[in-house]
Chain A
Amino acid sequence: QSVLTQPPSASGAPGQRVTISCSGSSSNIGTNTLHWYQQPPRTAPKVLIYRNTQRPSGVPDRFSGSKSGTSASLAISGLQSEDEADYYCATWDDSLDGWVFGGGTKLTVL
């Protein structure tokens, strides 16, 4: 069982907006910045959102992140078929003295 809780799956039709939640505690999300990673099938993860809300260069503005208290969300608008992937949230945990990941959310574009 992961320290950070994500829904195991999410789905939406092309063009729709989907949100993926990530829930933690005061020792991780409540205190530290959170990052989101995208992992298409059979490839290594790549960062999608860093420091809660920032997009690296090259990531479309269809992707956005937010954080409030001990929870965070990733929103994807204008859903496209290439967005089908697994999505993970990650942050540092002060109690565990290590990085923690969410269990991952598999996004299906209908």
Chain B
Amino acid sequence: AQRVTQPEKLLSVFKGAPVELKCNYSYSGSPELFWYVQYSRQRLQLLLRHISRESIKGFTADLNKGETSFHLKKPFAQEEDSAMYYCALNLLDNQGGKLIFGQGTELSVKP
């Protein structure tokens, strides 16, 4: 079955420390993976998509098909990075897509 796993519910780091939020997926096809972020009292926002190979707000994520992972990384965490982060897999079915979300990781960056 298709599944997205984020093993850490909470990740706490100090400002300036490196951050890695883990995401593993289970999917037999070619995955379309995303990271979404939800800041306090704000809507869910798209942060990264693997198809773009982009860096947003200093965050990057590399798709590793061998390890079925899509970890989110940032070399130097900032306090404004504190938020809830969700890894999501877009499944194509009946020519439409649907997102399978991980349970989310709360990132807390301390001063």
B is bound to A = no
